[in-house]
Amino acid sequence: MNTTIHPGYAPHMEQPRSRTGYWVMIIILFVLLAFSVLLNFILVMVTVSSFSGMDVQEDGKKFSEEFMQGSGRKKIVRIDVFGIITFQKSGGMLFQEQDLATLVMQQIDAAEKDPNVVGILLVVDSPGGGITASDIIYERLLSFKKSGDGDRKVVALMRDLAASGGYYISAASDKIVAHRTTITGSIGVIISSPNFTGLADKIGITDVTIKSGKNKDMLNPLRTPTAEETNILQITVNDMYDRFVSVVARSRNLEPEKVREIADGRIYTARQALELSLIDEIGDVNTALDQLREMTGHENVKVIRYKRSVSFAELFLSRFNNRIQLPFPPEWSSDAPRFMYLWKPNF
């Protein structure tokens, strides 16, 4: 039989099946396998770190010593106070950094427990911070100097900025050395809060607050503070300011009246601070270390600093946020206004 094939006619052929779904399943399985391997690796490292032989301080925090310079059995511990002095944790989107105040105190504790430590070099580069955090560090430094055989010394070295709370903790030192370019001072107290009353009126936002007393919601950002509230806050600020003045007067051997004259919140250069007896010397790290060697009576001494050893357990478990955190300055993350020993030229 003759078969006629018409032009444009194509015999029916079975189309190949799409393999997209197949590759999607392969990718999903691969991702699940990789996640399982990673999870098991983390669990193994957590277990290993739990039984590791690293030195552990009595408070459970692990530190290792990093040699910096010098020689001998006796030690000077360098402790850096860089940033805002606060008990509030800070960090990025997923992981939190240990708060500065706690970290500094842990290092002071470690130095105090080591019988070979004769002094602390306190390197300060800070605009200040919380009044309580600053005061606790100040008292811990005083306690360190009284520990051991009573011959321990502290010298503060100011870098770019040692203002307000940064100066407050420096006042616990036996000597204060500042770089010639240091900015210091700003002795005083501040509390601030944004007020959105004008904006709220424009866009129609009203505040509904149920309170037990007329002053319970002081610094409510959706209403103007009353004269009574302002007076209450000013009295509180003045009381905390008096504490700051007494600390400076006692540590610098100045009359309180003299301190009040210069403690109006202004900042000073290193030269101005030296003329006002707020610091002892203009110099650098070698100047500060020479002061420590002379005061402790130990010429042959090695300088170290502590480094925190972070375990996988802390990295992946204890320090993992359960919520997203934006990397804003610590003073912005508080739910309520705080009294601060802080140089805060802008919001």
Residues taking part in catalysis = 164, 216
Q: Residue 63: which residues within 8 A CB-CB, separation 6 or more?
A: 55, 57, 106, 107, 110, 306, 307, 308, 309
Residue type, 40: N
d(CA 102, CA 277): 30
Q: Is 51 helix (H, G, I), strand (E, B) or coil?
A: coil
Please tell me the distance from the alpha carbon of residue 4 to that of residue 9, in angstroms, as a whole number: 10
What is the sign of the dihedral through the CA atoms of 289, 291, 292 and 298? positive
Helices (H), 155-222: 165-170, 197-203
Cα first-last separation, the chain:
95
Sign of the dihedral through C-alpha 271, 275, 281, 285: negative
Report d(CA 45, CA 50) in Å as an integer. 8
Residue 250 corresponds to which tokens in the numbers above? 């006692």
On the CB side of 326, CA atoms within 13 Å amount to 6
Element (H, E) at 24: helix 20-50
Q: Give the SS3 label for residue 29.
A: helix
Q: Could you tell me the CA-to-CA distances from 8 to 5, 11, 14, 166 in Å, in that order?
A: 9, 10, 18, 89
Report residue 31 as tokens.
């991702």
